[in-house]
Chains A and B, each alone.
Chain A
Amino acid sequence: MEWILFVSQVLNGLQLGILLFLLAAGLTLVFGIMDFVNLAHGSLYMMGAYFCVTLTPLLDSFPLAVLAAIILTFVLGVVVELVVARHLYQRDHLDQVLATFGLILFFNGAVHLIWGAEGNPIRLPDFLDGRVTLFTDIEIPAFRLAIIAIGLAVAVGLVWLVGNTRMGMLIRAGASNRRMAGALGVDIKKLFTLVFALGAALAGLAGMMIAPITEANIGMGDDILIVAFVVIIIGGIGSVRGAFIAALLIGMIDVMGRSYLDDFMKLFMNNQSAETASPALSAMAIYILMAGILYFRPRGLFPPKNR
């Protein structure tokens, strides 16, 4: 039984890590290339989930709804970029933080207006709703495996995109040196819009993946956004590879801390104090990790080169 639990916790950690990566990838690119702090990234995650809520019954297919919702979040990303974000690239970070904080309030209010205050579930199709048996005696919800598979596929795709395509080359050039990308004769404005919308679509996808498990809620992106920030800080701002490694690390530590820290602490102290202290400590674990990493590497594990 012990190791069955362990394996399913590892998968949970992997799943959380992958969701964090989907969120963090856009965040780190937008920050790395446009030098733009986007607090509203979590709102795009929420909007993706809500688009999927409406589209799933409408199209009568969850996979089709996901595809359509990705396109919608991409378009929403373009709109947000054109209307608000692009006017803030040259401003200081304080202005960016404030304006995107305003966007969060705006989107939370808008969702309340359109979808109401209650949480909205998404019904999964049968083939995703069941359980899959692994190694003869471990049962895993099929949807969780799907999340991990899709997330890994996106991660590989993104690393390929950034590493091997012309657009990826421009993104990397932009992340390490904005002026140089401009000097290459790239239409920098279009590139910015594209990157922003791509990040939005990835965040939206993460929202769609989580909504069938937790329901879509107002403000669902607010807290996970901060964890995504922790991920990109640890990974090094602008680094997709760093975001991927840090996301998996954070996902694992968070899940493992919550399930095993009390057992671990019982080795050192009496049961009661271990049970009181461990929830607080495991909730703080990822932030303590971040503090430790930053103390030794103030710019994260994979810092951008020319900054």
Chain B
Amino acid sequence: MMARNRPTLRQGVMIAVLLALAVLPAVTGAFDQPFLLDLALRVMILACAAVSLNLILGFGGMISFGHAAYIGIGAYAVGIPAYYSEYSGYIQLPIAIAAGALFALVTGFVCLRTKGVYFIMITLAFAQMAYFAFVSIEEYGGDDGLVIDQRSEFPGIINMEANLEFYYVVLAFLLGALFLVYRIVNARFGMVVQGAKGNEARMQSLGFDTFRYRLACYVIAGAMAAAAGWLMGNYNYFFSPEMMGWTRSGELIFMVVLGGAGSLFGPVLGAIVFILLEEMLSGATIYWPLILGAILVAVVLFARGGIEGVIAALERKK
């Protein structure tokens, strides 16, 4: 995060990965591998959500275990209007962002009064509340989920039904999310949020109303994750409550920590590794959760600092 003149290894990795994502459609087109493109889409959408989680978890120290709820809120902001034949993206996307922000504002108001493990469990419980709310609304498919018959429309600007165009919309969202978080954490606001992570009482004695700043940060992250959910709904043409269950929130945390919490690009690396790992294991055996679970435990016990931490260590060695 400090100003450096020479590009570092970490910056190099980031640029390489983003370039690779940018040229991927050309490669998969040439070799006729639509499956890879599909995988990359999933990675990027979850990476958007992970980047937003990293804003509160990595930089703000707020361990939210309910981030998948925002993905659900964003996805239903596609599905429910579509159910009433309202397909305009100019309506769906603002609804997604506003609903995500509102849910974060209301729940954050209670969650952020608590600390430590209480915070973890309460974010978890609120997400579970949103999950059960969608499960119980039969009108929108309940448990079975909601089929979305077409993607959001932006007439005259972009046709999201075309997979290639959709791909670059998602990539643009990912770049936008990364840039937004980069600016936020380096601005005055970000300094306050990071200070409150290290020592909240001290921030208050300096004169900061930390509760409000953290709440604002929580709301921003919620709105970003809901935008990722909006992409997810469009990507799948379908959404079910199961996709916003608490284990999904756990996976998002894993992505952030695997990549390196509190580093800008770490969550993207974490999302890539997690999805590839899941893809490979589930291809190899139906008992893949057994192996993935063991890997997860091992990562926590033995590899601290995540992938970004490893790269940073390599940098220091040079």
Within 8 A of B (CB), among A267-294: 276, 279-280, 282-284, 287-288, 290-291, 294
Contacts of A87 in B (CB 8 A): 301
A159 to B314, CA, bound (A): 54
A305 shortest CB reach to chain B, Å: 16
B134-148 CB mask vs A (1 if < 8 Å, else 0) is: 011111000000000
B88-124 CB mask vs A (1 if < 8 Å, else 0) is: 0000000000000000000100100111111011101
Within 8 A of B (CB), among A102-144: 102-110, 112-113
B290 shortest CB reach to chain A, Å: 3
A87 to B297, CA, bound (A): 11
Q: Would you call B247 an interface residue if the criterion is a C-beta within 8 Å of the partner chain's C-beta atoms?
A: yes
Which of the candidate stretches A54-62, A90-98, A175-183, A193-201 sits at the interface with the other chain? A90-98
B282 shortest CB reach to chain A, Å: 11
A226 to B295, CA, bound (A): 24
Q: Are A94 and B63 in contact (CB under 8 A)?
A: yes
Residue of B247, B254, B289 contacting most chain A CB atoms (<10 Å)? B289
Q: Are B287 and A279 in contact (CB under 8 A)?
A: no
Which of the candidate stretches B125-133, B154-162, B176-184, B187-195 sits at the interface with the other chain? B125-133
Q: Are B297 and A284 in contact (CB under 8 A)?
A: no
Residue of A35, A229, A237, A279 contacting most chain B CB atoms (<10 Å)? A229
A118 shortest CB reach to chain B, Å: 13
A284 to B133, CA, bound (A): 7
Chain A contact residue count (CB 8 A cutoff): 47
Contacts of A91 in B (CB 8 A): 300
Q: Which of A97, A113, A276 contacts B287 (CB 8 A)?
A: A113
With A97-B120, A112-B286, A299-B118 known as contacts, the answer to whether A291 contacts B292 (CB < 8 A) is no
Q: Which of A93, A107, A276, A291 contacts B116 (CB 8 A)?
A: A93
Contacts of A35 in B (CB 8 A): 117
Contacts of B289 in A (CB 8 A): 105-106, 108-109, 112
With A102-B294, A107-B293, A294-B114 known as contacts, the answer to whether A112 contacts B287 (CB < 8 A) is yes
Q: Are A233 and B132 in contact (CB under 8 A)?
A: no
A139 to B7, CA, bound (A): 76
Q: Are A102 and B293 in contact (CB under 8 A)?
A: yes
Q: Are B297 and A283 in contact (CB under 8 A)?
A: no
Q: Would you call B291 an interface residue if the criterion is a C-beta within 8 Å of the partner chain's C-beta atoms?
A: yes
Q: Which of B138, B261, B287, B301 contacts A99 (CB 8 A)?
A: B301
Contacts of B261 in A (CB 8 A): 94
B254-292 CB mask vs A (1 if < 8 Å, else 0) is: 100100010000000000000000000000001111111
Q: List 18 A-B contacts (CB under 8 A).
A: A35-B117, A94-B63, A98-B296, A99-B301, A102-B300, A104-B250, A105-B289, A222-B247, A233-B125, A237-B117, A279-B136, A280-B136, A283-B136, A290-B122, A291-B107, A294-B122, A298-B115, A298-B118
* Shortest 6 CB-CB contacts between residues of A and residues of B: A109-B290, A102-B296, A106-B293, A105-B293, A109-B289, A287-B129
Chain B contacts to A: CB under 8 angstroms: 57, 63, 65, 107, 110, 113-118, 120-122, 124-126, 128-129, 132-133, 135-139, 245-247, 250, 253-254, 257, 261, 286-297, 299-301
